[in-house]
Every structure is written in C-alpha cells, then in structure tokens.
Amino acid sequence: MNELQLELKNQLKKFCLEKIEPHMEHDDETEEFRMDIFRGLGDLGFCGMTIPENFGGAGLNYQDLSVALTEIAKYSVPYAVTVSVSAMVQAIINDFGTEKQKQTYLPKLTTGEEIGAFCLSESGAGSDAASLKTTAKKVDGGYIINGTKLWITSGGIAKTYIVMARTGGEGAKGVSAFIVRDGTPGLSFGKKEKKMGWRTSPTREVIFENCFVPEENRLINEGEGFKVAMAALDKGRITIGAVAVGLTERALDEAVKYSLTRQQFNQAIFEFQGLQFMMADMALELESSRLLVQEAARLYDEGRPSQKIASMAKLKATDAAMKVTTDAVQILGGVGYTREYPVERFMRDAKVLQIVEGTNQVQRVVIARQLKKEYQSH
C-alpha cells in the first residue's frame, strides 16, 4: 500500500468508526439507508474516486478505489456496495458518454450528492443478460422504454439510472444503453425486496411504462449497450472483490479477538490447534483474495487485459468471504449465531456477493472463455 492509500484508509477508518459503525446493528434490523452517510463519504472524496477532477472526481485509479472499498466494507458492506455500484455508473458515463452527458450527470454523482444505479437484470434475464426483454422503441426525438428491471441496487434512492433496453433484434447486438433520471414520467419503482443480507441497501424493481427518453440520453451507438454493460462489469467485478476482502478481514478480526479472550477448558480457545488451523486458513483466504483483487486493479490501471483476472478476483474473494464469515460464526459458537455479535450479519452479507455482478458460475464461464481465446491465439 502506498502513502496515499494508507492516508485514504486511515481517513476512512475514522469516518466509518464515527458515522457508520454505531448504526449498523440498528439499521440492519430496520433496513434503513442513511443518505447523510453516503454524502459524508462524498464530502471526503470517496464517491467519485476514479473520475477526472474536472467532473468533480478525485482522478485516482482502481487500486486506490479498491483500498477504499475494502476499508468501508469492514464496517458496512451495504454502503461499500452503494459506492461501488455508483462508481460503475460513473465509469460508464465517463467511458462512453458525450462531453455533454459527462457534464450533465457526473458532478452530482462524483460529489456524492446523488447515487447511480445499473439496470440490466430482469426476471427472465439474470445470468443470460443478453436475453433481456425491456424495449426502447424509436420515436420522433427519442425512445419509448417499456419493461421491468429486477434486483436493482439503490433502486428508488438513486437519481441516475443506466438502463439496458432492446432497440433491435434478439441477442446482445439488439441492446442499447440509456441514461434515465428519476422523475422521468413513466419511470416508477416496484416492491422493495426483503433480503437475507445487505439490508441497509435498498433493492427494488424499476418499472418503465411508456417512458419517453430523449435521443441525447442514449449512450454511444444503438446496439452497443451490451458491450457497455459488460465493460462496466469487468470493473464492477474488481470492486465487488475489494468489498469482499473488507468483509473477510473484519470477520477474521472478530474471530481472532474473540478466540484470544474466550476461555474453555482453562485456556483461551485460540490455544486449540483445531481453531488455530481454521484461523490460519482464514488468513490465507484473506491474503490470497487481496492479492488477486490488487492484481486485477493494477492490470486495469495499466491498460492491460484484466477481464480474466477480474473474474478470478471476484470469484476468489467472494467465496473466501462466504467461507471466512461462516467460520467466524463457528468460532464464536452460540453467541456468533446471535445478533449480540456482528458475525451473523457478516455471514448474511457475504452470501449475495457470490451472486451479484455475475454469479460465481458466470465468472468461471468468463475465465474459461478467456483461456480458450489465449490458447487459440497461440
């Protein structure tokens, strides 16, 4: 970690301990999202880290963003994910938007005044994203969007939505990407999902009923929306990996601290080799995940092919988070299963990391396809 990253980490630690940690148990119970926490992260410059300074961002890179997300996730996976998904929306606008689109939408996102959301999934199009059915019919001056998007992180609290909709025939080549603002007539929100974890982060249906979107809100060319979504997910998979690393680190921390103080059979339970081996394996999972996430971010920052390693980082780090949080509950035993200690929440927050931004089965598809390409090109 370089000096700047160390400084960012320390700044975040202070903010999270003061502003996030005290609310986490309560807000997990009541499913409350606090916009003032998100804005606080924005005030410190953590909501638009990778966007150029002329659009209100911090002009940093994905290695820096990964360090920040790991630190936030030690205290709250839901807030880390809100920052991560909003960063993905900003990256889409920054990479594929016109100068006018960047000027219009980026500053409020980079400063944390507003949140961004990414609308790809539908009831019949989860892993098979290219089969999406939402349509964008060309009309005079723009498009009419009809359809329902599902499981949208920050649905209802976000102001800017990137929406993938079909302008052409079947398959990936018929998909285009649009920017749709909250408040646009025809855009509404469906039910808020009742979830196992990530309870502080609202997940909703986003519904489009004859929703007119002007032509100037389309991102790049018609038919290139699927590529926009996939390129965004290549980065999103690095940042979700970084979130998983933070959760893993915190779960290990809780397990080690507890095992050093909990006495059974006249000694701290840490002294039992069975538990030492478990914690050694947990530490190994943590450090190997961190290295893979750092490597994926470094490759991306250097403009080198990063898709395969990004999928590996997401797969490894989120599986590690699931395993380590489960083992942390086991080490704490009876109290680990109660809400008196945070590890049961960590275990619930880990599960969906293996599902979002491409299930860990989809990550294997991406890795295998890249392997095939590499071998065929030799």
Cβ closest to ligand CAA, residue 48 vs residue 225: 225
Contact in structure between 177 and 217 (CB atoms under 8 Å): no
Catalytic residue among 53, 215, 357, 374: 357
Cβ closest to ligand CAA, residue 80 vs residue 329: 80
Among 101, 110, 239, 307, binds ligand CAA (CB under 6 A): 307
Q: Does 231 bind ligand CAA (CB under 6 A)?
A: yes
Show the tokens assigned to 41.
């992260």
Contact in structure between 65 and 242 (CB atoms under 8 Å): yes
**What minimum distance in Å lies between the beta carbon of 222 and ligand CAA?**
14
Cβ closest to ligand CAA, residue 6 vs residue 365: 365
Whole-number CA gyration radius for the chain: 21
Q: Does 296 bind ligand CAA (CB under 6 A)?
A: no
Cβ closest to ligand CAA, residue 89 vs residue 275: 89
SS3 240: helix
CB atoms within 10 A of CB 78: 27
Site for ligand CAA in 339-378 (CB under 6 A): 356-358, 362, 365-366
CB atoms within 10 A of CB 52: 14
Site for ligand CAA in 200-229 (CB under 6 A): 226-227
CA 352 to chain centre: 11
CB atoms within 10 A of CB 261: 9
**What minimum distance in Å lies between the beta carbon of 18 and ligand CAA?**
26
Site for ligand CAA in 124-163 (CB under 6 A): 127, 129-130, 153
Q: Is 357 among the catalytic positions?
A: yes
Show the tokens assigned to 127.
């892993």
Site for ligand CAA in 245-264 (CB under 6 A): none
User: What does DSSP say about strands 116-119 and 160-166: parallel, antiparallel, or unpaired?
Assistant: parallel
Cβ closest to ligand CAA, residue 205 vs residue 234: 234
Nearest residue to 89 via CA among 108, 74, 71, 69: 108
Q: Number of residues in contact with ligand CAA, rule: CB under 6 A?
A: 22
**Contacts (Cβ under 8 Å, ≥6 apart) of 145:** 134, 135, 136, 163, 165, 178, 180, 186, 208, 211, 212, 213
CA 321 to chain centre: 14
Site for ligand CAA in 104-123 (CB under 6 A): 118, 120-121
Among 28, 182, 234, 349, binds ligand CAA (CB under 6 A): 234
Among 164, 233, 242, 243, binds ligand CAA (CB under 6 A): 233
Which are the catalytic amino acids?
357
Residues lying near ligand CAA in the complex (CB under 6 A):
85, 118, 120-121, 127, 129-130, 153, 172, 226-227, 230-231, 233-234, 307, 356-358, 362, 365-366
